[in-house]
Amino acid sequence: MEHKPNFKELVGFNPALDKYFNDVTQKYDFFNSNQGLIDFSQTALEKYFSLKIKIDPHRLCPRIYNRVDYVEFVLQLMNLYSCETQHFINRQVKRYLGLDVGTGHTAIYPLLTMSIIDKRNESGSKVNETIDLKFIGSDIDSKSVCLAKENIILNEKLISGRIEIVEVSPSRNELYSYLLRRLNLDGEADRLAFVMCNPPFYSSMSELEEKESFKKQSPLSGRVQATNNELITPGGEVQFITDLIEESVVIQGSKGVDRIKWYTSLVGNFASITVLTKALRERSISNFGVHQFKSSEKKGGTRRWIVYWSFDLTWRPPGKFFNVEHEKNHCVRNIDTRMSYSEVVSALESLPQHSLQYESKQKAAKQYLIKVKFKEIVWTRTYRRSLKNGDQKRRKIEAQLDVDISISAQLAVSLNWRGGESYSNFESFCGWLNGCYEFKKGNKNKII
């Protein structure tokens, strides 16, 4: 989120916060005690999001601003919201359903999502008024479910029946069953869905304490109050998210599942990323990505990651969503060329035009975006051989490929894989375009 809290503004809104001012450091010490964090969070939620939240001092107090970042990322992923314009995008689909796995006693993600949408409505965008978003918050803890329902009632004027809190079984094979039941209700056939999750990060208390010992902060007992369920799960976040991935595969083919467009989860440890992306690849899920962000109520902040995946190959996100270096090449490739817009267009026009379409636009001075759709892999030797041999059995569906080609003012070329089942086709096309540049320079052995 681009707007950070103004501490003086918050104290003006709630003068009781002034007791946290440190005369020695001349700063507010909201984050050195659990009660300070609770008081800050409740004030910020009411001031900036019009939310009244009861926070149990013995349960996890949500850090507000990384939650906001996660919500806004998912809204962008669903192609609902543009951070650049601070407005919602006018899409044909207007009805959505979110599932928060492990919503906790504050139901913070459903509540924040509704507040963010309604705040944008108040800004005057006519598009927003047509968006119908509902949310399911699920949890396995009975006490958390009861407290979450109380928080929904506290904000019923804002929520107007759009959030439902449900208690679910710890059984992993029921993770998405409630969501599917809702999608299959009468009158819900046009509603698209997404999944959010902020899992427990740790596998044991000893792991938690070991990791906290490396942080330059006050002792754990003075900062974090939470139940074991909120912090610890067997196998840690890797096992929890792997179960989310596995169950998303298992339910494929179920009625309504094609309308679950994105599965997402927050990740707390960088080491988990490689394991999780391997799990996605092992299950032949090609449409996935990892997004890193860093946000905090105070200076510095903690890095977090969002892993996201989809079975709909037409919903590949833009390149800016892939900002973790060792995972970028999966969907974004900066090729070793310097090519002008006219040179790229010339290369595309050298291909058989019956199996490709492209459109281009100028984004800024000497900066271009070309959107290309291939029906067949017309740039390859395999395609040329099939023509020569009169092969009429080319598998066109697997050969489909959508690519965005960005050309900078410095003639740097970046390709973003936006559609198609085969990563090898995307990689092959990147090599072909790079080969066009080498061919132009006279190194004919480089062309594919």
Q: Give the model confidence (pLDDT) of 11-53 as tens digits.
A: 999 999 999 988 888 888 888 889 999 999 999 999 999 999 9
Q: pLDDT band for 202, please (50, 70, 90 cuts).
A: confident
Tokens of 268: 């707390």
Query: For position 442, what pLDDT does the model report?
Result: 55
3-state secondary structure of 32: helix
| Section 288-300 average pLDDT | 75
The residues facing 294 across adjacent strands are 303
Alpha-carbon distance 172 to 51, whole Å? 32
Banded pLDDT at 78 (limits 50, 70, 90)? confident
Q: Please return the burial class of 358, using the count of CB atoms within 10 Å of its CB with bins 0-12, 13-18 and 19+.
A: middle
Q: Which among 91-95, 169-173, 424-428 has the top mean pLDDT?
A: 424-428
**% pLDDT > 90, the chain:** 45
Cβ–Cβ contacts within 10 Å for residue 297, how many?
Answer: 18
Structure tokens of 215? Answer: 């942080």
Q: What is the pLDDT of residues 412-445, one digit of tens each?
A: 898 888 877 777 788 889 889 988 867 665 554 4
Is-contact 233 186, C-beta < 8 A? no
Closest by Cα among 343, 333, 304 to 418: 333
Question: Which DSSP symbol is given to 267?
Answer: E
Name the band, by pLDDT with cuts 50, 70 and 90, for residue 230: confident
Residue 296, pLDDT score: 62
The secondary structure of residue 172, as a DSSP letter, is G
Helix axes 423-441, 341-349, angle to 10 degrees: 110
Q: Is the pLDDT of residue 170 over 80?
A: no
pLDDT at 311: 92
| CATH class name, domain 7-328 | alpha beta
Q: Between 104 and 375, name the one with better pLDDT.
A: 104
Percentage of the chain modeled with pLDDT above 70 = 81
Q: pLDDT value at position 81?
A: 53
Distance CA(90)–CA(93), nearest Å, equals 9
Q: How far apart are CA 162 and CA 285, in angstroms?
A: 32
Predicted confidence at residue 227, as pLDDT, reads 81
User: Domain residue spans in the chain?
Assistant: 7-328, 332-446
Please name the residues in contact with 95: beta carbons below 8 A apart, sequence gap of 6 or more.
Answer: 131, 132, 133, 188, 190, 191, 192
User: Average pLDDT, stretch 120-125?
Assistant: 58
Cα separation, 360 vs 339, in Å, equals 15
DSSP track, 70-82: HHHHHHHHTT-EE
Q: Indicate the average pLDDT of the chain.
A: 83
User: Cα(143)–Cα(104) distance, rounded to whole angstroms?
Assistant: 9
215: CB partners within 8 A, 6+ apart = none
Residue 123 has pLDDT above 70, yes or no: no
DSSP letter at 321?
A: G
Q: Which position has the higher pLDDT, 364 or 172?
A: 364
Does 185 or 93 have the greater pLDDT score? 185
